[in-house]
Chains A and B, each alone.
Chain A
Amino acid sequence: MIRKTVENVQEALKDVEDGMTFMLGGFGLSGIPENAISELVRLNVKDLTCISNNAGVDDFGLGLLLHKKQIKKMVSSYVGENEEFERQMLSEELDVELIPQGTLAARCQAAQQGFPAIYTPAGYGTEVAEGKETREFDGKMHVLEIAFKADFAFVKAWKGDKAGNLIFKGTARNFNPNMCGAAKITVAEVEELVEPGELDPNQVHIPGILVQRIFEGKNYEKRIEQRTVRSKK
């Protein structure tokens, strides 16, 4: 067993610096690395490039970093829930690269798995494909998309063990597994950190080889963005 544990979020993020590129897991506010985001706010690192499907909401998730103007550039697929984001984008304070969601996942996965680039049909014929190489396969046009390069990947899992093996829960899984091992250093925060042997190897979603640092997170808010219910009849 190769131990991946660090004491806390401060130790996990001790070497983040201004100007770095980060991947952050999550879809909406589900499965976001809440502890890492809080620490980035506390460290007040600036000029960050953040690769994340969404940009949080005004007062939670990546919205907290946007509010403090710590982010220079966002790479996302959908940013519709955040007014401050829209304001910074339209006023050009914030550089924004909007890309198809499947392309975002594929560029993470390519980085994780050693592919320099992938071809996808998504975005062909749209402004997303402008300036990119295209190629026909089986009569259909595809766009060449390059693997991401990032300094840190911050992911959130449900359970993990001290060897860095991870299990995700529900749709909080989303981009988190695809970002593991896709950056120079992957930091995993988990709701429950257990001893090696306590996770069934058959149930592990991401093997510890893709994780460099793991810690048990604290005070998860797990905010719900759109609470929708039906009435009991």
Chain B
Amino acid sequence: MSLGKEGIAQRIAKEVKDGYYVNLGIGIPTLVANYVRDDIEVEFQSENGILGMGPFPFEGEEDPDLINAGKQTITALPGASFFDSAMSFGMIRGKHVHLTILGAMEVAENGDIANWKIPGKMVKGMGGAMDLVASAENIIVAMMHTNKAGQSKLLKRCSLPLTGVGCVTKIVTNLAVIEVTQDGFKLMERAPGVSVAEIEQATEGKLIVEGDIPEMKL
């Protein structure tokens, strides 16, 4: 059975290691914080100017001066810090943030990513995504394997305007864990109960399958 959004977040949480500063994008990536092991030390960065982001506040304790990149009310954990936007992107550009997790509309087999614009239809803007993908060295994309029309989002080439070139290192979808290599998408893990054939069918770009592909452990 393919994973839901929570399942994707749960699998990605295993990529978060002790000592990591992590930037979480809007959508599925935000959910990752709920599944990170509590025996490791991790700080979440939000591009609007906080390190040490905590969970949503209790009802009645919401603070309009304390939000995340998705404009949601949040809390600050002990050891948190606030800073301005130039500093926020300075720490991203300066490679001080270890892991970036973001959503995408399309990813290409060479690591290109598109997630900010559908010409003539939807133009929300890139927000911080272009800065993040241009600078971060460890970029995981969290997304569904296919779009609402059932078309693959893992392509030979992106059809939408790019957010960044050759930057994505790993993709976790509802069907699979995939590494982006010089030769194309390399299948690493299958979602529980999902066959290699199903993943191949849902992947338009070049999919490399070597040996037995294990099921994800969540």
A residues with a Cβ closer than 8 A to B are: 27-31, 53, 76-81, 86, 89-90, 96, 98-106, 108-109, 120-128, 158, 168-178, 205, 222-232
| CB–CB B86/A228 < 8 A | no
One of B49, B93, B116, B130 near A27 (C-beta < 8 A): B49
One of A96, A177, A226 near B72 (C-beta < 8 A): A226
| CB–CB B62/A126 < 8 A | no
Residues of B with C-beta under 8 A to A172: 64-65
How far does the Cβ of B124 sit from chain A's closest Cβ, in whole Å? 3
One of B64, B67, B86, B125 near A78 (C-beta < 8 A): B125
Report Cα–Cα, A223/B65, bound state, in Å.
10
Q: How large is the interface on B (under 10, 10 to 19, 20 to 34, 35 or more residues)?
A: 35 or more
How far does the Cβ of A171 sit from chain B's closest Cβ, in whole Å? 5
| CB–CB A176/B84 < 8 A | yes
One of B48, B92, B123 near A79 (C-beta < 8 A): B123
Report Cα–Cα, A53/B124, bound state, in Å.
12
Q: List 13 A-B contacts (CB under 8 A).
A: A30-B65, A100-B126, A102-B92, A106-B86, A121-B134, A127-B162, A171-B66, A173-B49, A174-B49, A177-B84, A226-B72, A229-B58, A229-B73
| CB–CB A171/B65 < 8 A | yes
Residues of B with C-beta under 8 A to A30: 48, 64-65, 67, 71
Residue B59 at the A interface, CB < 8 A?
yes
| CB–CB A122/B67 < 8 A | no
Residues of B with C-beta under 8 A to A29: 64, 71
Report Cα–Cα, A222/B88, bound state, in Å.
23
How far does the Cβ of A59 sit from chain B's closest Cβ, in whole Å? 15
Residue B194 at the A interface, CB < 8 A?
no
| CB–CB A170/B126 < 8 A | no
How far does the Cβ of B166 sit from chain A's closest Cβ, in whole Å? 8
| CB–CB A89/B83 < 8 A | no
Residue B46 at the A interface, CB < 8 A?
yes
| CB–CB B128/A77 < 8 A | yes
Residues of A with C-beta under 8 A to B29: none
| CB–CB B86/A127 < 8 A | no
B residues with a Cβ closer than 8 A to A are: 46-50, 55-59, 61-68, 70-74, 76, 82-86, 88-89, 92-93, 116-117, 120, 123-131, 134-135, 161-165
Interface residue SS majority, chain B:
loop
Residues of B with C-beta under 8 A to A228: 56, 62, 72-74
How far does the Cβ of A15 sit from chain B's closest Cβ, in whole Å? 27
One of A31, A79, A102 near B131 (C-beta < 8 A): A102
Report the nearest B residue to A104, measured CB to CB: B85
Given A100-B126, A103-B131, A125-B162, are A178 and B85 also a contact pair (CB < 8 Å)? yes
Residues of B with C-beta under 8 A to A170: 50, 63, 65-66, 76, 82
| CB–CB B131/A224 < 8 A | no
The 10 closest A-B pairs by CB, nearest first: A102-B89, A80-B124, A102-B131, A125-B165, A170-B65, A100-B130, A28-B71, A105-B85, A78-B125, A121-B134
Report Cα–Cα, A101/B88, bound state, in Å.
10
Residues of B with C-beta under 8 A to A123: 130, 134
Report Cα–Cα, A106/B86, bound state, in Å.
6
Given A78-B126, A79-B124, A105-B88, are A120 and B134 also a contact pair (CB < 8 Å)? yes
| CB–CB A128/B130 < 8 A | yes
How far does the Cβ of B46 sit from chain A's closest Cβ, in whole Å? 7
| CB–CB B82/A98 < 8 A | no
Report the nearest B residue to A140, measured CB to CB: B134
One of B65, B74, B82, B161 near A126 (C-beta < 8 A): B161
Residues of B with C-beta under 8 A to A127: 161-162
With A29-B64, A79-B125, A170-B66 known, 13 other A-B pairs at CB within 8 A are A30-B67, A77-B125, A98-B125, A103-B131, A106-B86, A120-B131, A121-B135, A122-B134, A171-B67, A173-B82, A226-B72, A228-B74, A229-B62
